[in-house]
Structure 1
Amino acid sequence: MTKTIQVSDITVAFEAHTIDNTKFGHAQHVQVAFDLLRKYDFIDAAAIYAKGIRTLATNAGAPGKFNLTITYAFMSLIAERMAQGPNHSFEAFIADYPELMSKNALERLYADDRLNSDLARGIFLLPTAA
């Protein structure tokens, strides 16, 4: 389901696969996820996001950097926070949930060896109980 919404220029470039991967850091990852989740339902947004991130890694000559678990886990965290209230802008959303701007946001859910394993790169792994 596609909704008519305004998205950032970075998201437009991401969806068109014309983005400069050298300028696509963590903040841009979060921005694109936010925009896609506003534009599509979760299933479509997650698929578009994962395929786009994988394409970026491959085009950068580093396909092994793509990690499906990190991609889907971050997307899920962002979607969960978005479901908690109205999100009229990315800036307001980040002000409400600044922890999402940390690359370490998944540390409380995943052991490092599990999150960065070869298995986690290829399939989505659920967090394990502490």
Structure 2
Amino acid sequence: MKNPHQMSQVTQAFEAHTIDNTMFRHAEHVQVAYDLLRKHDYMDAAMIYAKGIQALAAKAGAPQKFNLTITYAFMSLIAERMAIASHQGFEDFVSQNPDLMSKTVLERWYANDRLHSDTARSIFLLPDAA
């Protein structure tokens, strides 16, 4: 365990598997990733995050919506941003990194067809854009 801190309510519900998937939008994805990266090392945080999102998609009756590439790429981007600049909590982190609040931020590195392919859903694909 890394830095124990107060987890957001959304992250507590995510970890307890009690979160309402209809209330789990992009901002909540970013919050949970941030909290998990504060609590765990990258490998554990990424596994917990991916398994949790995959379970949410299945619970919602849409397991095909889970995308491993998007999940790991966003988690990696958030972890990198957390590592390169100091911040005072999630709100400060978001104010320093407003691009993370856009679902399309990964388009800098991935072509749309690659990012949303069936292969990207099941395995992590490396970026294809410079």
**Normalised by the shorter chain, which TM-score bucket?**
over 0.9
TM-score normalised according to structure 2 size: 0.97
* CA deviation profile, 1:38-95 (whole Å, cap 9, x unmatched): 0000000000000000000000000000000000000000000000122321000000
Q: Distance in 2 between matches of 1:3 and 1:94?
A: 19
SS at match of 1:106: helix
1:11 lines up with 2:7 in the alignment: no
Q: What is the CA–CA distance in structure 1 between the aligned matches of 2:87 and 2:41, rounded to whole Å? A: 15
The 5 Å alignment of 1:14-29 reads 14-29=14-29
Q: Secondary structure of the equivalent of 1:15?
A: helix
Q: Following the alignment from structure 1 to structure 2, what is the Cα–Cα distance between the partners of residues 82 and 41?
A: 12
Count of aligned residue pairs for this structure pair: 130
Could you tell me which residue of structure 2 aligns to residue 128 of structure 1?
A: 128
Deviation of 1:5 (Å) = 1.4
1:128 Cα deviation after fit: 1.4
- When normalised by structure 1's length, the TM-score is 0.97
5+ unaligned residues in a row in structure 1: which ranges?
none
Q: Who is 2:62 aligned against?
A: 62
Identical residues among aligned pairs (%): 68
Q: Does 1:80 align with 2:80?
A: yes
Q: 4+ runs of 1 displaced by more than 3 Å? A: none
- Residue 2 of structure 1: how far off its partner (Å): 5.0
Unaligned runs of 5+ in 2: none
| 1:87 counterpart SS class | coil
Question: Is the Cα contact below 8 Å between 2:4 and 2:38 reproduced in 1?
Answer: no
With 83-92 and 69-78 compared, the bigger mean Cα shift is at 83-92
Aligned to 1:111: 111
